[in-house]
Structure 1
Amino acid sequence: MRILIILITVIFFGNNTFAADKTSTNHPIDTPAVIRKIQSDFALINKQLSFYQKKTKDVFEMSAEGGEVTGYYNKGVLKKIHCIFYGETGKAEADYYFNSAGLFFLYKKETFYDKPMYLKDFKIKNTTETRYYLNGDQVIRKLAKPIASSTLSYKEIKAELKPIMDILSKR
């Protein structure tokens, strides 16, 4: 009789007959491990930049004073985009990093001048830097220096990236 009870218990709990649907369960990620992988991939791409094919486009429609978008390709696969956009009183730079899963890291740097850049002796008033660590379709960590109150969502990052990708895809 004990063997029968043990067998029924094993079958009952082994099948998880009353378990919730496993397809809707969110699987937590090991955020520190994912961030270490992102940092490793980021460093590798930057180390190998000189071996990648470069495609640079001048852009005038995306900022007041123009700018430049450069794509870095490894055997035809986009690895990094470096953007620089100029304004009268500053400039914005953005680096987008890609792996086989898509966009995984974004670095943004904004520099503000004390007066328009075309005036003599302009100086840098302040600089902000923001790093976005991305996994799947979400931002898993944001680091800002100095601490910024606004944060881009994954959806906003993708919306910013779309016109840049369109520029690089033009012949």
Structure 2
Amino acid sequence: MQALSLQEVFQTYSWRNNEWRKRRKANVILRVFPRYSPSPEADVYPLYCRTKILLHHPFRTLSALQDVDGEDRSWPELLAECRVAEHCHSKYTLRSWEDENREPQEEEDNDDDVNPDLEDMTEEDWQMFARDHPNAAIPVFDASDLGTRPLDAAWDPQATRNR
């Protein structure tokens, strides 16, 4: 157990009756509180780095983690060195700063897309709509319009209950 990180210990073993016992199930979610901001600009970023290092590196004393080659290093320096060295860690359960700040990719807006409601419309339905609503575009409804569509307004819930 001395070669295991804290995360590996708590996901693999449980402390029962004053002894460590191997868990039967390997699917254990480790929750760490408080959850510090992963932003490098945040005041609590050193605490975030400390949490990452403590979770994923085996250690006996804190000074053994921070003291590298006789130099006392800060937690952000240690995490940066860890990332550069590409240490293999188990999956991080803390938030990823890169994922949170990634710009969402804008979907290309295709005007050629056909509304699925209109896809099934027959020629007679088109002609009937055009006759009843001259020069009007066929309305397009999405999930945000549920309950306000004409179809929804015409629905009688009492009639369906009495069936």
Q: TM-score, normalised on structure 2?
A: 0.25
Structure number having the greater strand percentage: 1
- Considering Cα pairs closer than 8 Å and 6+ residues apart, tell me whether 1 or 2 has the greater RCO: 2
Structure number having the greater helix percentage: 2
Q: TM-score, normalised on structure 1?
A: 0.24
Bigger Rg, which one? 2
